[in-house]
Amino acid sequence: MILNREEILNLCLEKSERVKNPLIQPLKKKNLKISSYDLTIGNEFYCRNDNETSWNESLSIETQELKKEQTFYIPPHGICYILCSEKISLPDDLSAKISLRMKHIYSGLIITSQPPFDPGYTGNVIILIYNLSSEACYLKEGERIATIEFFQTSPLSDLKEPHKSVTSLSRSLNSPVRSSLLSIDKTAKESKSRANRVMALMLTFGTAISALLGFQVYSSQENSQKIIDMSEQVSRNRIHYEDQKKDIRLSLEKIVNLKNYASQKEKEIIKLEEKIEIIEKSLKTQSIKNSEGIKNGKNG
């Protein structure tokens, strides 16, 4: 059974054989919810320095202290250990579980799954937060960060030793912790950079190929146009040749006709000359006859 607001408040104010210490201290009534309590950021946190490049460089860690209402941030894809300011003291029949406030979940933060606090635990609360977003997340000392719920359990007659009490973050962490998300993000950025370089080279190569193909296409088109022009010129020359050939044939025909006409006229002239020659001969004979007649007349 989950404890409600009134039960949580009573356990914070009550002192009895069952409740030896207040359930939550210091208590802020404004942080009480219907069935939970909001824990606040304390004065100590740890975010791994990005300059720590090797897992084996150092086995010591340096946590950072916060002044009242001092702001700090969790880097993109980073992790952060936070010591809550409240101390909890669980009776022998109560356990507790931690979860992240929805406000921070909406900002891209998640909290690791932590085991519940066993009955009898006394001490502070440490939470481990991942920043899954690509932006830095800013937090402040005294800000509400997590929600704690209390569960009623059956009393145990042989209660074993509860969790070791936590009072300091630096005493609880043994070695530096680095988020693997940072390495993944770095690898992703390097891969993206390489991919961009490859894409740029491919684009340059593709542009060069396109230009070369375009030049070849242009040259082919230019050559094709030249061939077409030459073909048209040959066709025009062929037509002109045929026309000239027709003209020559007509001229030859005219020459032949003229030759035939001249031959015919020549024949006619020859015949005419023959007729003239006959006429001349006839006239000559008649003239001789006339001359002889006249001569005979005189003699008689």
* Domain at 95, CATH number: 2.70.40.10
Distance CA 153, CA 93 (A): 5
> What is the pLDDT, as a whole number, of residue 137?
93
Q: Give the mean pLDDT of 226-249.
A: 83
Q: What is the pTM of this model?
A: 0.59
Mean pLDDT of 268-282: 82
Per the structure, the complete domain to which residue 11 belongs is given by: 5-178
pLDDT value of residue 9: 93
The single residue listed with the structure tokens 């579980």 is 97
For residue 222, tell me if it sits in a domain: no
d(CA 138, CA 177): 20
One-letter amino acid at 61 equals I
Across-strand partners of 128?
81
* Inside any domain, residue 38: yes
Total domain count, the chain: 1
Does a structural domain hold residue 73? yes
Q: What is the pLDDT of residue 143?
A: 96
pLDDT digits (tens, 9 = 90+) for 99-130: 999 999 999 999 988 889 999 899 999 999 99
Residue 100 maps to a domain:
yes
3-state secondary structure of 243: helix
Helix (H) or strand (E) holding 241: helix 180-299
Residue 186 is assigned to a structural domain of this protein: no
| Rounded mean pLDDT, 200-228 | 73
| pLDDT band with cut points at 50, 70 and 90 for residue 51 | very low
Of 37-46, 57-66, 257-266, 271-280, the least confident: 57-66
pLDDT over 60 (residue 58): no
Q: Which two tokens stand for residue 110?
A: 């998640």
Cα–Cα distance between 78 and 133 in angstroms, integer?
9
**Residue 184 domain-assigned?**
no
Task: Establish if 187 belongs to a structural domain.
Answer: no
